[in-house]
Structure 1
Amino acid sequence: MQKKPLLALLLAAALLNGCTDHFPQNPVQENTAAFREVADIDLGGTAAAEISAYDPISKRLFTVNNEKAAIVDVLDLSAFPAVTKLQPIDVSSLGGVANSVAISDGKLAIALEATNKQANGSVIVLNTSTLDVLQQITVGALPDMVTFSPDGRFIVTANEGEPNADYSIDPEGTVSIIDVSNNYSVKTLDFAGFESQYAALAPKGFRMFGPKATFAQDIEPEYVAISDNSQKAFVTLQENNGVAEIDLVNGKIVSLHALGTKDMNYILNSIDASDDDKKVELKNWPIKSFYLPDAISYFTVNGTPYVITADEGDAREYSTFDEQKRVSSLKLNPVYFPNGDELKKTANLGRLRVTSTRGDNEKDGVYEELYAFGGRGFSIFHAADMKRVYESGNSLEQEVIKAGIYDDSRSDDKGVEPEGVTVGWTNGKPVAFVALERVDAIAVYDLSNPGAPQFLQIIKTGDAPEGVLFITADKSPNGRSLLVTSNEEDGTVRFYQP
């Protein structure tokens, strides 16, 4: 009997295990340390390119564009690298702003907030070829992100439930699960049942601090990653510094995971804390920082599942409630900060933004601890128990500094501000693409060893990459891996290939 080649056996195994999304069928050998821009298109100005999704059936890219009205631009990639703009999808009459798009099996899902941002939003499902509307489903308030499960059965939205400007209306943050196979039936989950766990979660870094908010109101789901077997979802709760684990099949929240804090006094966690020191210098400081992740992505290595988070950091900033304070404006307890006056100088910690909601342990207006926003890097966790197996320390910012693109004007805030992350597969290896909003770049890492990712390159993008999308070689319009960035500030969509 003729022996089958090893690659054929591996591909067959991948197909049997339903892993075709993560094992490209086209065995193209590519240099993942050498992505270069091959095409771009300008869709307008600020907010003209936010999040994109690609349909391999129609070879179309769908990009959220909220510059003037709620539309989704349709880009034809069938002759790639030529990119042709087609008639956009106008959803402005169906609600407020479009926030996110996702695609599965010829279906396009659009997350649309309500005209009244605090009211329930919706998901609109269209045919990617005809653009006919198939369904509109009501979900929770402010659906900020939408995604399909790998098997296409579920559409999941993270409904952020942000308050209004004066914090007089604060809807509950929720997660909606839409069962496509059951006539788009929807189940929206709230977090009220976990209020009793807050006392145990808070010491581990979980935050609940909105004015007069219940636990369910204070939760703000941000981004969703779904397991390869389509059974679990992992949802970042950015402002709360946590991740929710959800059973999609049974439609229930399984657990909440607090993400802890990052000690900036540890030698490998040094940061530049000032935009007024006239230099870029990473130093250790007696502060901690909440990770506050934005995007999250799921991947598997050697049968072990992981999730990776972009630890952007975010603060609540409203007309009647702003948690941010400069260190220079705070009273520091001299027992804990014996050199407090020196720390409060603008060239040291004085300019750094910290939260006023933690650190005043005796509630007397004097701070015994200081907590900043964001990890200025990324984290990797075992998906089974959400134990952190890697945290990038200061290594990501070091690479940005080496590349000569670090923006010192953001040192007092959240540094390079990693916002987006996705994991793609090329050459049989998982590769992470981390979008750095404040330096207009993507950092690329080989995740073959999740406990020790290997830095590959920095890719310059358009202004403020909001969406980062990886298309595997077998689904790409030209048979090669394709990275797509949607850049919010300059309205461009840019395309990169190795």
Structure 2
Amino acid sequence: MSAARTLSVLSIALASTTLAAKADQVFNRVASFPVATNIPGDQDKAHPSSAEIIAASEDGNTLVYSDSPLGGIGFIDITDPRAPKAAGYVKVDGEPTSVAISGDSVLAAVNTSENYKNPSGKLITIGLKSHETSTTCDLGGQPDSVAVSPDKSFAAIAIENERDEDLNDGELPQMPAGDLKIFSLKDGAPDCASVKTVDLTGLAEIAPEDPEPEFVDINENNEIVVSLQENNHFAIVDATTGKVTKHFSTGTVDLKGIDAKDDGKLEFTDNQDGRRREPDTVKWIDTDHFASANEGDYKGGSRSFSIFDKKGNVTFESGPAFEYELIRAGHYPDKRSDAKGVEPEGLAVGTFADSKYLFVLSERGSAAGVYKLGGEAPEFMQVLPSGIAPESAVTIPGRNLLATANEADLGEDGGARSHVMIYELGEGKASYPMLVSKDQDGKPLGWGALSGLFAAPDKAGMLYGVSDSFYKTQPTIFAIDATQTPAAITKAIRVTRDGMPAQKLDLEGITGDGKDGFWLASEGDAAKLVPHALYHVSAKGEIKQEVPFPQELAGNETRFGAEGVTKVGDLLWVAIQRPWKDDPKDTVKLLAYDTKGKKWAGAVRYPLDHAEAGWVGLSEITAHDGALYIIERDNQIGTAAKEKKLFKVSLDGLSPAPLGGELPTVKKEEVRDLMPDLEKTGGYVVDKVEGFTIDADGTGWVVTDNDGVDDSSGETMFFSIGKM
């Protein structure tokens, strides 16, 4: 495709964000299913369990997924999509890598390899309703992907025989070579004797002797498209004859305006030319065109998705356009910037009513892009929030449903478990994203890891937020216009010291200084040489004054320090997140600093609710109408989360006592349980409710911290709780 044509297509894709707002129908998430719910009763519920490849029954009432870590196939009843239920689990002898459904049969590809040099695998048939295994076919190698033809006459399996990435730095070739297996199906089950082995060697320019088939899909003409990911190649195979009818390189992409450095800041000024696509998932759009998610796995990854025709022509290339949409929604994973950016991996295609949609899954961005097909170029419609690391998706057009399988299970580290998420197409407004950034100088404005919030005192809906230490070299104050839907980040104010980006900050709180500047609270961490301190900055973000924490606290500090700051008259009140060494159990300090006298005025004690698991601490403090409003939360996530609440403490008679002596304990009053608010978008409850403020007309606003999309779903919830 010519450069001019590419730019034209990208312009259409980028401009389509505005068009999406006018759409009559949108996809919204209606439920999330933690797959650990499916773990059999005789097994440890804490064992890692993951939904990877997902399929749907023909009636659309059952979802089936492969679970590699636990070694089985899971079933989910979605008769009521808003209340999915565990519907059984079948253990298999080996590692299931993929599933497909043919009538009343589930076809599961299972890896039984002894090692990389001696790969083996099998294709097993499981009854969709009975859950009994009926057929087992030897595959002669390690399977990756399985697909069933639309007419249910064939099954195709990509035999990858994957490389050992630790051997010779993962260089190819590494024998034995992979191939493609084709089985005839009868009554939904494979006829093992009908197997055709398709030799894929000698096709690619890159390691032609060692093809590594990754993904397969079959169109209505029974043509199979197979991606050879590491080889940067495609092959088209006739399922009836097993002959390769066409093959071609997937080519390269020149990327402009990307972030290619893992350096703790979001700057989209880098270029990468000649980047191999190295596609993972491929999906037919029609009988003549297919889409590819260009993840990269060997020496490439173009951060894009592409559309090809069967002759090998690129008819559409997204370039960085898909990535840009995730950047605007706060889903850019900086810790993967140097490699593959948002890393598109999965795809799904479905026709809903008279509209055909393409869904592009970002493994590292933990989100899905929705595109409408049928025009000159795919039209971007919306970003959907997903769980962590979406691996695959399936459409159920007859029920207006979409489901994603999100493979990451972080339960062993106290994080979110793997989830299957369900979305429904219907009339209304998109519930997500709740906050997006406006482009600056023609480039998307990157953001994430929001912590504190502050409302301008003279303009309703005008807010300011700060990002924490995740972006260690780019501390930033963000201006937020909450009068728009979704709310918009309109400006980034970089925090500087002597004209350079300020270092050794972990900004967790922000408030106004009564003029046009700000006070910022930084949570210290001695292990990282980050001091506990307050910073007075100008409207331009320049640090004018640094206030270290009082000496009376020296020796008692922990890394769980300041989480919020607010101003009442001349006093700054600072919320400390968790008890320090000199605090009684289940209490924390609210510190007071006198801005006029430039001295610490003392502190009071705040009583914490007792934690059922993990810990409970403070996340925010804001003054309004004679009270201090305080966010109190546990550090639990998903079904384990119990406490995400807003309390208030009256300012009447509140007076800080000198540090070093007895401190008075304040009385708190519960204002709102935020758990129902956090459950409204159908996802699991996030752990970090970090920011709260009340704007000029008395409206309360809440924001959550998405941890910079690092071991996180990347979801930022930003919402109003009404007049206070």
Q: Larger Cα Rg: Structure 1 or Structure 2?
A: 2
Name the residue aligned to 2:657.
none
Change (3 A) 1:494 1:152: same
Asked whether the equivalents of residues 213 and 229 of structure 2 are also in contact (C-alpha less than 8 Å), the reply is yes
Residues of 2 paired with 1:409 and 1:36: CA distance?
28
User: In the alignment, is residue 402 of structure 1 matched against residue 328 of structure 2?
Assistant: yes
Runs of 5+ in structure 1 lacking a partner?
1-29, 209-214, 316-354, 356-372, 474-479
- Closer, same or farther in 2 for the Cα pair 1:446/1:115, shift >3 Å? same
Pair 52,109 (structure 1): closer, same or farther in 2 beyond 3 Å: same
Q: Aligned partners of 1:307 and 1:58: how far apart in 2?
A: 24
Task: Note if contact 2:113-2:141 (Cα within 8 Å) is conserved in structure 1.
Answer: no
Give the whole-Å Cα distance in 2 for the aligned partners of 1:155 and 1:282.
43
- 1:88 corresponds in structure 2 to 89
Q: Describe the shift of the 1:46–1:271 C-alpha distance in structure 2 as closer, same or farther (beyond 3 A).
A: farther
Asked if structure 2 preserves the Cα contact closer than 8 Å seen for 1:104 and 1:148, the reply is yes
Among candidates 235, 246, 266, match of residue 237 of structure 2: 246
What pairs with 1:143-154 in structure 2 (closer than 5 Å)?
143-154=143-154
Aligned to 2:368: 442
Which of 282, 285, 291 is matched with 1:308 structurally? Answer: 291
Alignment of 1:29-48 (within 5 A): 34-44=26-36, 46-48=48-50
Q: Displacement, 1:256?
A: 2.0
Query: How far apart are residue 119 of structure 1 and its match?
Result: 2.3
Question: 2: CA distance between counterparts of 1:74 and 1:412?
Answer: 37
In the TM superposition, what are the counterparts of 1:72-87 in structure 2 within 5 Å? 72-87=73-88
Deviation at 1:46, TM superposition (A): 5.0
Are the aligned partners of 1:140 and 1:161 in contact in 2 as well (CA < 8 Å)?
no
- The separation in 2 between residues aligned to 1:415 and 1:65, in whole angstroms, is 26
- Name 1:486's counterpart in structure 2: 405
| Matched letter for residue 272 of structure 1 | D
Q: 1:106 aligns with which of 99, 104, 116?
A: 104
Distance 1:438 1:126 in 2: 32
Provide the C-alpha distance between the structure 2 equivalents of 1:261 and 1:32, rounded to a whole number of angstroms: 36
Number of residue pairs aligned between Structure 1 and Structure 2: 375
Instruction: Report SS of the residue matched to 1:180.
Output: strand
Bigger shift: residues 53-62 or 425-434? 53-62
Matched, 1:173 2:165: no
CA contact (8 A) 1:110 1:123 kept: yes
Indicate how the Cα distance of structure 1 residues 424 and 166 shifts in structure 2: closer, same or farther if over 3 A, else same: same
Mapped to 2, the partners of 1:309 and 1:238 lie a distance apart of: 11
**1:87, distance to aligned residue in structure 2 (A):** 2.7
Task: Please identify, of 241-250 and 111-120, the stretch whose mean Cα deviation from structure 2 is larger.
Answer: 111-120
Q: Distance in 1 between matches of 2:163 and 2:319?
A: 33
Identity %: 34
Partner of 1:258: 249
CA contact (8 A) 2:29 2:423 kept: yes
* Aligned: 1:186 with 2:195: yes
Q: Which residue of structure 2 lines up, in the alignment, with residue 412 of structure 1?
A: 338
CA distance in 1, matches of 2:48, 2:88: 20
Q: 2:259 aligns with which of 272, 290, 305?
A: 272
Q: How many angstroms does 1:305 deviate by?
A: 2.2
- Report if the CA contact (8 A) 1:140-1:188 is conserved: no
CA–CA separation in structure 2 for the residues paired with 1:132 and 1:434: 34
8 Å contact kept, 1:140–1:176: no
TM-superposed deviation, 1:178: 0.6
Change (3 A) 1:53 1:162: same
1:175–1:494 distance in 2 versus 1, CA, 3 Å: same
Q: Is the 8 A contact 2:180 2:200 kept in 1?
A: no
Alignment partner, residue 228 of structure 2: 237
Aligned amino acid, residue 348 of structure 2? T
Give me the whole-angstrom Cα distance separating, in 2, the residues matched to 1:32 and 1:404.
25
Structure 2-normalised TM-score? 0.50
Q: What whole-Å deviation, never above 9, does each CA across 1:282-325 have from its counterpart, x for those lacking one?
A: 2353632100000011022xxx621000011112xxxxxxxxxx
Q: Once superposed, what is the RMSD of the aligned Cα atoms?
A: 2.2
**Do the aligned residues in 2 keep the contact of 1:162 with 1:170 (CA within 8 Å)?**
no
Q: Deviations over 1:235-267 (max 9, x none)?
A: 000001011110111112223210111123xxx
Q: Which residue of structure 2 aligns with residue 219 of structure 1?
A: 211
Q: CA deviation at 1:58?
A: 8.1
- RCO greater where, 1 or 2, for CA within 8 Å and sep 6 or more? 1
Q: Structure 2 CA distance, aligned partners of 1:312 and 1:53?
A: 21
The Cα of 1:132 is off from its aligned counterpart by 2.6
The equivalences for 1:23-34 within 5 A come to 34=26
Conserved? CA contact 1:33–1:456, under 8 Å: no
Residue 151 of structure 1 aligns with an amino acid whose one-letter code is D
1:376 aligns with 2:303: yes
Q: Structure 1 32/177 Cα, relative in aligned 2: closer, same or farther at 3 Å? A: farther
